[in-house]
Amino acid sequence: VHVKGFTMRNPDIPPELRGTYAGLGHQAAIAHLTDLGVTTVELLPVHQNVPESFLVAEGLTNYWGYNTIGFFAPHNGYSAAVRAGHPGGQVAEFQAMVDALHQAGLEVILDVVFNHTAEAGPDGPALCFRGIDNLAYYRVVPGDPSTYYDTTGCGNALNAGDPIMLQLMMDSLRYWITVMHADGFRFDLAPTLARQDGAFDKVSAFLDMCSQDPVVCQAKLVAEPWDVGQMDSYDLGRFPPLWREWNGKYRDSMRDFWRSHPVGIGEFADRFTGSADLYGAADRRPTSSVNLITVHDGFTLRDLVSYDDKHNEANGENNRDGTSDNNSWNCGAEGPTDDPEINALRARQSRAMLTTLMLSFGVPMLLGGDELGRTQQGNNNAYCQDNEITWFDWASADTGLRDFTKRLIALRKAHPVFRRRRFLSGAEASQLRWYTPAGSAMTGADWADHNALAIALYLDGSDDPDRAVDGTWLLDDDFFVLVNAWWEPLDFVLPATRKQAAWRTEIDTYDPAAPAAAGAHSAGDHVTVRPRSIVVLSDARRG
């Protein structure tokens, strides 16, 4: 979430606090977060930053803030104190915001940009680092200090292998933990930090220092596991065990699955159960995977189901900026429409993807505003839009989608069976079983059918040593998750699981407002899952 965008138009926050740290720490902002049920707030960059000159010339700015110049200073543009004429007041204001979030039970993770600075390429402004020690702070071509290596797409890449740069990075991290009370960090374009001689190295100096530093190693560390311009720029699954990673494969596969592209039912299953193919072999856990459907750079969830193509004309680059590969589907019309069937389909697609996200193993990450149906009018690269394109429109919030998202989060929090912290193998593998819609166990041929778009998952809530309390293993309910990404309804046959199992509907994404059917389903019963939707059944006989 963006400090300014989240608060700028919230009518329950005093006008003088909107768009500021104090606004995010206001009870109205915190009430939305706690009512929703999230546990952690990840803030887009809050380090002091400056906009690129070409944006200023066009009357725009770097709204996201990925253009850092001060690694020890909260950005003054988000400070109500500075706005009121108190320079330097942003420090205490930021601390008060974090304290207010902590008091509400929320952790705070900062998105930090240690891969490049606002000095850009050789023709960029010389603001500090370049003039102090160009070779220490930036990676340059040997023998040619005027030519920068650029694995960021921003003109320069910081020299994470130099002792001076490493000291700055580690001092900064410790400052934001010990003085500003942050709980962790998400590292933008993190592979750049692990490049010393060009190639990604999981035992590089920076990653090694993070694991050894007694303060930093206690924080939550999250990698954006890709940068640009190198053969190994996509380093998903290669970070050390201490780290979590934004799972780009999860994002792309789940988007494709729900728009009925033939990604393969096995790909859906791998991503849903924590991406063991990426993390299991390295003895990492499902919680290494930060699962996402949308983030700030790209479509919002509403736009993901409303646009086939990007619409970035407002950025002033003739729609050339931003990716053209969005894995999106407009459901039959480009942009806003009055067609009730298309709007209903878009709502179902949104609920299906949110349900997939919230029930998958790993750490679910929700883009702020997706729970409200926020749109950026098809702009998938709104980094320079500090205006109503990016600010939350609280007056037009989709309260039905918000309430549905709250139900999903509550379901996940109430049932540890969706939060497994280990990959299941051996005898434990029976606690997770996959079935065809006909109720038969999946075979090799079933898994190999790349056109399959429907599957059933049985989750056994039996004893789990990861959830033992004082030596006593805990029980959870059993669940069936029935998934139908076809464009027609499908009947699912419930296979036999435990004796006397009585299955009741917890979630039906096709019509979440429909009253639950009387009675319960038993083994052998048929359950109709309507088009492009998920039905979640639970057996709560354990009490």
> What are the residue ranges of helices labelled H in 273-339?
276-279, 301-304
DSSP bridge partners of 289: 245
224 an active-site residue?
A: yes
* pLDDT band per the 50, 70, 90 thresholds, residue 204: very high
Instruction: Tell me the mean pLDDT in the region 23-41.
Output: 98
- The pLDDT of residue 436 is 98
Instruction: Tell me the mean pLDDT in the region 57-66.
Output: 97
- The pLDDT of residue 119 is 97
Query: What is the phi-psi region of residue 65: left when phi exceeds 0, alpha when psi lies from -120 to 50, beta otherwise?
Result: left
Q: Which of 93, 111, 183, 188 is catalytic?
A: 188
* pLDDT band per the 50, 70, 90 thresholds, residue 424: confident
196 domain residue, yes or no: no
- The pLDDT of residue 316 is 95
CATH of the domain at 398: 3.20.20.80
Q: How many domains does the chain have?
A: 2
Per-residue pLDDT of 433-448, as tens digits, reads 999 999 999 999 999 9
Cα gap 101→326, rounded to integer Å: 34
Cα gap 74→109, rounded to integer Å: 14
Residue with tokens 């694991």: 211
Domain range for 366 is 247-379+392-414
On whether the CB atoms of residues 48 and 33 are closer than 8 A, the answer is no
Are 301 and 344 in the same domain? yes
- The pLDDT of residue 543 is 45
271 domain residue, yes or no: yes
521 domain residue, yes or no: yes
Are 313 and 453 in the same domain? no
The mean-pLDDT minimum among 71-85, 330-344, 453-467, 497-511 falls in 453-467
370 an active-site residue?
A: no
- The pLDDT of residue 464 is 58
pLDDT mean across residues, the chain: 94
On whether the CB atoms of residues 169 and 206 are closer than 8 A, the answer is yes
Cα gap 187→113, rounded to integer Å: 6
Amino acid identity, residue 157? A
- The pLDDT of residue 212 is 95
488 domain residue, yes or no: yes
- The pLDDT of residue 142 is 87
Q: Read off the tokens for 22.
A: 């104090």
* pLDDT band per the 50, 70, 90 thresholds, residue 542: low
On whether the CB atoms of residues 379 and 311 are closer than 8 A, the answer is yes
Nearest to 367 by CA among 68, 75, 111, 114: 111
On whether the CB atoms of residues 81 and 94 are closer than 8 A, the answer is no
Instruction: Tell me the mean pLDDT in the region 461-477.
Output: 63
Global pTM reads 0.95
Per-residue pLDDT of 226-245, as tens digits, reads 999 888 899 999 999 989 99
Residue with tokens 């429907």: 454
Are 407 and 460 in the same domain? no
* pLDDT band per the 50, 70, 90 thresholds, residue 22: very high
Q: Which of 52, 201, 224, 386 is catalytic?
A: 224
On whether the CB atoms of residues 195 and 233 are closer than 8 A, the answer is no
